[in-house]
Amino acid sequence: MNFDFEEEHKLLQDMLVNFVNKEVKPLAQQIDREHKIPDSLIKKMADLGLLGTYIPEEYGGAGMDYFSYIMTVEEVSKACGSTGVMISAHTSLACDPILSFGNEDQKKKYLPLLAKGEKIGCILLTEPEAGSDVANIQTTYKREGDYFILNGNKIFITNGGFKGIGVVFASFDRSLKHKGLSAFIIDLESEGVEILKNEEKMGIRGSYTTAIGFNNVKIPVENLLGKEGDGFKIAMETLNGGRIGIAAQALGIAEGAFERALAYSKERKQFGKPISENQAIQFKLADMIAKIETAKLITYKAAWLKNMKKTNAMESAICKMYASEVATYVTKEAVQIFGGYGYICEYEVERMYRDAKITEIYEGTNEVQRIVISKMLLK
């Protein structure tokens, strides 16, 4: 096994580090405080191809590979978890299902808008009574002539507040459960789409988490993804990739917190010496980096499998579960190393601790990931 980056990935990483340090890191606290990612930053990321990393050039993307996308989310999340998840949801949950399941006309129409950042993408799956229980979706649709008429409500929609392009899931017959689900591409500026609420959150405050209502929304028939009844399959495949993106976000948050804690431990002096000379702090640092490196290995393996178009459902669940728990552990320990300062908003580890927790919850809670993993083991 060769663990070295390809030359193109080394160049990308150098570019990302420079960009993040110059453009993202200085804005991270502002983004958290103002609950908004500046449009100017989104444009700069789009201009660099960060919103269309593995979208082919023929559809307006950067034409890189899936691993480049994972590197992008990781590096951006080292500075700002909100911006990292915006890229992750946009790419994994909106661009990917259109690229994977869309027909040629759909790809040509929507992927350039997404890849160039003219529209920000999202997935509209979760409902008040249907989170991980996708088969229990209550949103319905029926066909009338050249349109599908959509009615229902969605919650916890990452990027929903941008009112961009979404992939929405609805049922034509709820008695059929998962077999009655279909997926559609939807323009969230369509008549009948209503932003019900942008949630106030504990962490990733700069990222929109939105409740959206649909009142007789017309979706053109040509916006159906795949065939009617394909919705469950599309959702499951999309969530597999989404979990790898969340793992990359969690990994980046953990790495960012560790870097700050390590530097602080060398600078902060107590009893006449840096606290890094205390064995208690050394043990914390050792445990933190050991968990980070382990999370990185399984996340990169899952990304490599998806990049090679190999089966990755178990690996995606494992990396999401493990990396997110590592992020929560590492950020907690980083706050502890900073002591009282770690609890103050001026010091970034406080924000990173709050940002890390959500990675254990969305794309299916880690309890759900354990169910997914165990079911595969017991087949």
| CA 156 to chain CA mean position, Å | 13
CATH-assigned architecture of domain 238-378 = Up-down Bundle (1.20)
56: which 2 tokens? 């082919």
Asked if 191 contacts 218 with a C-beta cutoff of 8 angstroms, the reply is yes
**Within 10 A of 374 (CB to CB), how many other CB atoms are there?**
11
The low-confidence residues of the chain, meaning pLDDT below 70, are 1
The predicted pLDDT at position 147 comes to: 98
The predicted pLDDT at position 132 comes to: 76
Task: Give per-residue pLDDT as tens, 266-285.
Answer: 999 999 999 999 999 999 99
The predicted pLDDT at position 4 comes to: 85
The predicted pLDDT at position 83 comes to: 98
The predicted pLDDT at position 2 comes to: 79
The predicted pLDDT at position 48 comes to: 97
Class level of CATH domain 122-231: mainly beta
**Within 10 A of 146 (CB to CB), how many other CB atoms are there?**
9
One-character DSSP codes across 151-166: EEEEEEEETGGG--EE
Beta pairing partners, 211: 197
61: which 2 tokens? 């993307």
Compute CA distances 288 → 84, 253, 349, whole Å.
21, 12, 14
CA distance 154 to 223: 19
187: which 2 tokens? 């323009």
The predicted pLDDT at position 98 comes to: 98
The predicted pLDDT at position 131 comes to: 76
The predicted pLDDT at position 316 comes to: 97
Pick the CATH number of 7-116 from 1.10.540.10, 3.20.20.140, 3.40.50.800, 3.30.360.10: 1.10.540.10
The predicted pLDDT at position 370 comes to: 95
State the catalytic residues.
Answer: 363
CA distance 187 to 223: 10
**CB contact set of 351 (below 8 Å; sequence gap of 6+):** 28, 29, 32, 81, 203, 345
CA distance 107 to 14: 31
Q: Over the Cα atoms of the chain, what is R_g?
A: 21
Asked if 268 contacts 334 with a C-beta cutoff of 8 angstroms, the reply is no
Q: How many CA atoms lie within 13 A of 68 on its CB side?
A: 23
Q: Where are the alpha helices (DSSP H) in 308-347?
A: 313-338
Task: Give per-residue pLDDT as tens, 61-72.
Answer: 999 999 999 999
The predicted pLDDT at position 25 comes to: 98
Check: pTM over 0.75? Answer yes or no. Answer: yes
174: which 2 tokens? 């709820």
The predicted pLDDT at position 117 comes to: 97
Domain ranges of the chain: 7-116, 122-231, 238-378
Rounded-to-5 percentages of helix, strand, coil across the chain = 60, 15, 25
